[in-house]
């Protein structure tokens, strides 16, 4: 595409902010996709290109959290496998049917999640006894949320974080870190499917990927150095913003 220098700068800065937000609480797509659309990229190409740039951010976050000791990739490997299976199915299916039905439902599901989080001030403050065996959690949520991220996407990181915090008993730091491993998996699988369909704009995806790297590095640094209260506050803000964004798209 023939874009101006200012538009390229806008894409880079938008990706940087998206990467920062996504590394802390997920939901970076509510920033990056509108940024892509605003410079005239068609919707299908914007969604596909978003997967390329988001893969840079989720990979950076995943490795930073791994190196800091917040997540063991070996421990969550089963979740990675089943997320890949779910994401492959969802990415293939979205190219054949309309996802509009989900756009009616997801804002209300996220709203329920937001209310639950606000009403549970101690959620994720520290590790708690698990309510579900991790292998079962990885299989069930890997398939469901992997499929959802490949098929539709908004709020996937939020769903994973709450699942890890409520069912696996992780504190919010560990839940956020484990979420990034799942996010990177579904982003990568979706990217491969979209790339094979020829919808990814590589130059723009790589430019924004550089911005994602910067933003993700800053975001992971904040998670590693700040307490769970900071993550919880940021999480609530991002989930609320995602809900508002989805409601505006659907009903206005």
- What is the DSSP code string of 128-192? ---SS-HHHHHHHHHHHHHHHHHHT-TTHHHHHHHHHHHTS---HHHHHHHHHHHHHHHHHHHHH
The answer, yes or no, to whether residue 97 has pLDDT greater than 90, is: no
Q: Which residue has the higher pLDDT, 153 or 117?
A: 117
3-state secondary structure (DSSP) of residue 80: helix
pLDDT at position 248 = 86
Prediction pTM value: 0.93
Percent of the chain with pLDDT over 90: 79
The answer, yes or no, to whether residue 251 has pLDDT greater than 80, is: no
* Mean pLDDT value of segment 74-94: 94
pLDDT band at 99 (very low <50, low <70, confident <90, very high): low
pLDDT at position 91 = 87
* Model confidence pLDDT, tens digit, residues 160-187: 999 999 999 999 999 999 999 999 999 9
């Amino acid at each position: 595409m023939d874009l101006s220098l200012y538009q390229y700068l806008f894409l880079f800065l938008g990706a940087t902010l998206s990467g920062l937000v996504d590394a802390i609480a997920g939901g970076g797509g509510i920033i990056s996709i509108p940024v892509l659309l605003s410079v005239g990229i068609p919707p299908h190409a914007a969604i596909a290109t978003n997967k390329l740039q988001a893969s840079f951010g989720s990979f950076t976050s995943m490795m930073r959290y791994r190196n800091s000791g917040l997540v063991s990739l070996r421990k969550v490997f089963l979740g990675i496998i089943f997320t890949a299976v779910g994401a492959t199915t969802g990415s293939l299916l979205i190219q054949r049917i309309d996802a509009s039905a989900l756009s009616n439902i997801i804002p209300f599901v996220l709203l329920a999640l937001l209310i639950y989080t606000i009403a549970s001030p101690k959620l994720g403050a520290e590790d708690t006894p698990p309510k579900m065996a991790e292998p079962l959690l990885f299989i069930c949520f890997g398939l469901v949320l992997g499929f959802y991220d490949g098929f539709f996407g908004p709020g996937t990181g939020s769903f994973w974080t709450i699942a890890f915090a409520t069912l696996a008993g992780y504190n919010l730091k560990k839940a956020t870190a484990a979420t990034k491993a799942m996010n990177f998996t579904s982003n990568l699988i979706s990217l491969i499917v979209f790339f094979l369909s020829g919808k990814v704009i590589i130059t723009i995806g790589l430019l924004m990927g550089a911005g994602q790297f910067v933003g993700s590095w800053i975001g992971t640094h904040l998670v590693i150095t700040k307490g769970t209260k900071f993550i919880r506050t940021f999480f609530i803000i991002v989930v609320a913003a995602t809900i508002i964004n989805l409601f505006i798209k659907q009903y206005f």
